[in-house]
Amino acid sequence: MPPKLYCLAHGLYTRGTTLGNKRLTAVSLFSGCGGLDSGFEAAGFRILSAHDIDPVAVQNYNNNLVPVGVVSDISSKEFTIPSGVDVVISGSPCQGFSLVGKRNVLDPRNSLLLTSCELVRKASPRAAIFENVPGALAGAHKEIWDNGVKILQSAGYRVHYETIAMNDYGVAQMRKRVFLIAFKDRDPFSLSDTLRPVTPPSLRDVLDSAHRVGSGDLFLPMAPGSLDWRIAERIGPGRKLCDVRAGERSVHSWEIPEVFGETSSEEKELLISILKLRRQLRRRENGDADPVDIAVLTKLHGKGVVKKTAQLVEKNFLTFDGNYVDLRRRFNGKYRRFSWDAPSYTVDTNFGNPRYFLHPSEHRGFSVREAARIQSFPDTFDFSGSIRDQFKVIGNAVPPAISVLLAQQLKAALYSKL
């Protein structure tokens, strides 16, 4: 029997059902641990097979859903989808498209989007669903997306795609994803037109009782008194360690002398000046900041700035090549401390690492069960593998609370044509 899912947004429990004597079928590509598939199972679809190249993801899938997961290389020439299936579900890898990654347009994983479109063209299901990150629609990557759309349209599919903010529909995180819906025999529906937005749930709403769940203590520890611990002690809710932004949300490394070393008031003044100027005086079109010309700093702060710069280079706060000065720590936020009364940031594969994300009130990262709850997985979904494996499959998944709503809309549209 499909897993029972709770959709916090819409206040309902749902199990798989059928209408009449017809049960819709689906094949899943890049299925991962089954976040997208679990919603389709719960909505009454019969998943014929689910394919992923990661054996750990497939093991998690088969341990929790109808065990049709298969370790498969979807890019191989031998791989096919059986004809006669009603729906193909595809969540091809997003790393090459992601705005937080290197965004390498030549990343071979990007072509898997086109591979899945070709497989749909050949199998000719009644409908197909594709999921990816918003970065797939930006810059040079948009050409890959557009080519995928052209493949589907050439096969007679009518296509609609849009970006959905998942916290608008009951998922307690600020996660956006693009969904492409393709139909052979009708116009595709718009998710934003058919789903009912709700007040976004907070972390408190979904984590209140997570500590009582069996695997709730499975997390990456932070040793008391360690450098990580001392940094965490200085990061309040809603704040992060960040040298490249001003404002209340940023805690700068020079504000934590017990970890990064002492700085004088004049040195702090110079660091803040560089922080601002590197974004104001741009020389390149890409990126969001540039190193600052030492001549500009000399004009603003006097001839003594060269000596102060050398001191800050020695203390590992700055870099200096003889002409341009820049901050050494240019990451835009680590040790992000979440707030109980706000949604989470996007749950990704690094979500359990406390150097990236901190629990709202404890000096630690999030547990596996907490990450799963934020992703809307039910507590009955049991994850296996190493702790890093578990965070990986959770972070790569589509939240089941979204997938069940999507599947219900798709089922209604397909049954209307029977």
Any domain includes 186: yes
Residue 170 sits in the same domain as residue 306: no
Which of 90, 94, 75 has its CA nearest to residue 136? Answer: 94
Last residue of a domain, one of 308, 327, 346: 327
| CATH code (residue 162) | 3.40.50.150
What pLDDT is attached to residue 111? 80
What pLDDT is attached to residue 211? 57
Any domain includes 38: yes
Residue 196 sits in the same domain as residue 247: no
Residue owning tokens 């809307």: 376
Q: Give dist(CA 62, CA 57) in Å, integer.
A: 9
Any domain includes 359: no
Residue 175 sits in the same domain as residue 310: no
Q: Where do runs of H (alpha helix) occur along 162-250?
A: 191-194, 203-207, 227-233
Answer whether residue 213 shows pLDDT above 60.
Answer: no
Per the prediction, the chain carries an average pLDDT of 88
Q: Of residues 130 and 218, which shows the higher confidence score?
A: 130
Residue 248 sits in the same domain as residue 180: no
Residue 51 sits in the same domain as residue 187: yes
Length of the chain: 418
The half-sphere exposure of 316 on its side-chain side, counting CA atoms within 13 A, is 7
Query: Which range of residues forms the domain containing residue 169?
Result: 5-201+386-415
Last residue of a domain, one of 290, 305, 327: 327
| Number of structural domains found in the chain | 2
Any domain includes 273: yes
Residue 156 sits in the same domain as residue 279: no
Q: Of residues 280 and 102, which shows the higher confidence score?
A: 280
Residue owning tokens 């206040």: 11
Confidence of residue 107 (pLDDT cuts 50, 70, 90): low
What pLDDT is attached to residue 324? 96
Last residue of a domain, one of 307, 327, 347: 327
Cβ(85)–Cβ(27) below 8 Å: yes
Average of pLDDT values for 185-203? 85
Q: Are strands 127-132 and 158-165 parallel, antiparallel or unpaired?
A: unpaired
Any domain includes 333: no
Q: Are strands 158-165 and 176-183 parallel, antiparallel or unpaired?
A: antiparallel
Catalytic residue among 7, 33, 94, 117: 94
Q: Where do runs of H (alpha helix) occur along 213-314?
A: 227-233, 257-260, 265-280, 294-301, 305-314
Average of pLDDT values for 384-391? 94
Residue 155 sits in the same domain as residue 56: yes
Among this protein's residues, is 94 annotated catalytic?
yes
Average of pLDDT values for 184-210? 84
DSSP secondary-structure letter at 184?
Answer: S
Residue 251 sits in the same domain as residue 191: no
What pLDDT is attached to residue 133? 85
What are residue 101's phi and psi, to 5 degrees? -100, -160
Residue 12 sits in the same domain as residue 102: yes
Per residue in 316-337, pLDDT tens?
Answer: 999 999 999 999 998 888 999 9
Any domain includes 356: no
Confidence of residue 14 (pLDDT cuts 50, 70, 90): very low
Confidence of residue 99 (pLDDT cuts 50, 70, 90): very low
Residue 183 sits in the same domain as residue 314: no
pTM of the complete model: 0.86
Residue 76 sits in the same domain as residue 149: yes
Per residue in 22-38, pLDDT tens?
Answer: 789 999 999 999 999 99
Q: Of residues 210 and 213, which shows the higher confidence score?
A: 210
